[in-house]
Every structure is written in C-alpha cells, then in structure tokens.
Amino acid sequence: MTEVIRRYGPVLTGLILLAVALWLALLVVLPQIMMVDFSFRPSLPPSKLGGPEDVYTVKNYATLWTNQIHLAIFIKTIWASALVTAVTLAVCYPVAFYLAQVAPKRRLPLLMLMLIVPFWINELLRTFSWYIILAFNGLLNSLLVGLGIFDEPQRMLGGDVGVIVGMVYVYILFMVFPLYNAIESLDRNQIEAARDLGAGWLRIHWRVVLPHAKPGIAVGCIMTFMLAAGSYAVPALLGGPQSRWFTEVIYNWFFEGGNWNQGAAYAFILLVLCIGVILTAMKLFRVGLTDIAK
C-alpha cells in the first residue's frame, strides 16, 4: 500500500481507491450478496415487509425439487451444456492444433483474422443466421428435400436439437482461442522427438500435445459451459415452449410470474452450478485463475 502512495501521491491514490471500491462494492460484491439474501426471503407484498412473515426460508430453493418441470429443464440445461462443450472441444482441437503447430507462418495472420472476425460478430446475429438456415422454409429443409432425403420439410426450430446446434456455432470461438494459446507454447521439438522414437500420431496427441494443452482445454471448457448454461439468446430464438432453457425459467419468474425472490433463488442455483464447474475444471486440469482471465 505504501508503494501505491509513493508512486501516485495521496490525492491520486485516494481517487484510485475510491473508484476501485465503488466498482467492486456497488457493482460486483453487494449486488451478488443482495441477490443471495433476497433468494432466502419469501415474496411478500410491500405492506408485509419487515412483518412476522418476513423471515429467512429455503422455500424458494425447495421449489426446484418439487416442480418436476423446472427440475427437468435444469437437468437438461446441464447435460445439453456439457454436450455443447464436448462437441466444440472435439471440433476445435484439430483446428487449434493446425494453427498452432502446422500452419506456415506467413499464412497465420490471415487465418487468425478469419477466426477473430466472426468472434466479434454479435452473438444474437450469429444465432439469427441459424434461424434462417433451420427455418421451415429455410435453406437446410430445401436442401434435404431437394436431395430427396426428406419427402417434405421438417420442423427444426423449436426443439432441443436446434438449440444445441445453434449453441455449438455461437460459442465455438470461445474454445478455439484458449486451445490455440495453449498448444502454441508447445515446443515443436517435443513432437519431433516423440515421432523419432516411433510414436504414432494418435500416441503423440494423447501423450504429448493433450497434456500440454490442459490449461487451454480447461479455460475453453469453462467458458463454453458457462456461456451455454447461461445463454438466453439462443434458446429464445431457436427454441420453443418444448425446449425451454433454465435461464428462460428464471426470466419468467421475474417478468411473468412476478416472484423476484423465487427468480433470485433459481439464479443463485445457476451461479453455484457454474462455480462448481469452474472449480472442478480448475482442480482437474490444475490451472489457476490468472490462466482463465486472459
């Protein structure tokens, strides 16, 4: 602390501390604490606030266990997000490996730019582009009917499959960059050495590249899972009443059910799920927080 004051002087240090305190307290920590506090209280009309009924309760959390539909949606959100994560990992690994180890140096800047540009495009627009393709009179149906695979167009929007396909597309780039960064730091000589010693390519990947890429795999999986589980845009656009996502249930508690306390409890459950996934991945792959936020 003394070093901070020595470097910036008392006035500037005061301003810096004030700004950081405001940000972390008012915008980050207190809202989270308030949300959790709120989730343990019953939903009461203003006249009863502070009255005898205004006590802490786990009722809002019990709702998820008793409401079979919500519980099923919650569980589906977990496995579908895990599936999205696994598919993106499988699709991205070869691309990341090629870019990091195989691609000629002069071709790399263009290839990277081709990855970065779609990454910048609005998530909602990327979702919308799949809406156009999956629509009843969209490209995919015309193609499949034209090739004689289907006799007539099929409904591809409004179900879980459409949502999952869309999510893989929208979140794929959050997997590619962490993987690339991790594999890029692998010394190419290690691969050469393994090859000279007679290892096949499968063995090289399994024993040399993959272990080295662990931090990248962890970061990519954490980001993808979190984005998928917390996604609202993709299920809202590509899904329907039969394929509701947990975030949509939360939204409905707030803006249709009018029960904010209940919604806050569901939101906290989603947050705990994500923290659990982050901690598990960090332990499993032995990476720290600084590796993740790059």
Partner 1 sequence: MSADRFRRLLTGSYLVIFFAYLFLPLLVMSAATFNSSRFPTITPWMGFTLGWFSALWADQRMWSALGTSLIVGAGVILVSVPLGLAAALLLDRLHSRAKTFLYALAVSPLLTPGVIVGISTLVFWREWFGVTGGLFLTIVAQSSFIAAYAMLLFSARLQRFDLTLEEAALDLGATHGQVFRRITLPYLTPSILSASLLAFLQSFENYNTTLFVRGLETTLTVYIASKVRTGLTPAVNALSLILIALTVLGAVTYEILRRREARRAAGTAGAEG
**Which residues in the 231-270 window bind partner 1 by CB under 8 A?**
231-233, 236-237, 247, 250-251, 254, 260, 263-264, 267, 270
Count of residues near partner 1 by CB under 8 A: 88
Check residue 202 for interaction with partner 1 (CB under 8 A): no
Burial code (b: 16+ CB inside 10 Å, e: under 16) for 87-111 equals bbbeebbebbbebbeeeeeeeeeee
- 65 vs 98 by CB, closer to partner 1: 98
Helices (H) and strands (E) in the chain, counts: 16, 0
Q: Which residues, numbered 144-183, are part of the site for partner 1 (CB under 8 A)?
A: 169, 172
Check residue 90 for interaction with partner 1 (CB under 8 A): no
Token readout for 82 is: 């895990």
Q: How far is the CB of 62 from partner 1 (least distance, A)?
A: 20
Check residue 116 for interaction with partner 1 (CB under 8 A): yes
- 39 close to 267: Cβ distance less than 8 angstroms: yes
Check residue 14 for interaction with partner 1 (CB under 8 A): no
- What are the angstrom distances between the C-alpha of 292 and each of 95, 157, 177, 278? 21, 34, 12, 10
- 270 close to 246: Cβ distance less than 8 angstroms: yes
Token readout for 24 is: 């972390």
* Alpha carbon distance 111, 115 (integer Å): 6
Token readout for 202 is: 């499968």
Q: Which stretch binds partner 1 (CB under 8 A): 56-64, 68-76, 137-145, 209-217?
A: 137-145
Q: How far is the CB of 18 from partner 1 (least distance, A)?
A: 8
HSE, CB side, 13 Å, CA atoms: give it for residue 23. 6
- 31 vs 257 by CB, closer to partner 1: 31
Q: Which residues, numbered 46-75, are part of the site for partner 1 (CB under 8 A)?
A: none
Q: How far is the CB of 44 from partner 1 (least distance, A)?
A: 13
Interface residue with partner 1 among 66, 137, 189, 242 (CB under 8 A) is 137
Check residue 271 for interaction with partner 1 (CB under 8 A): yes
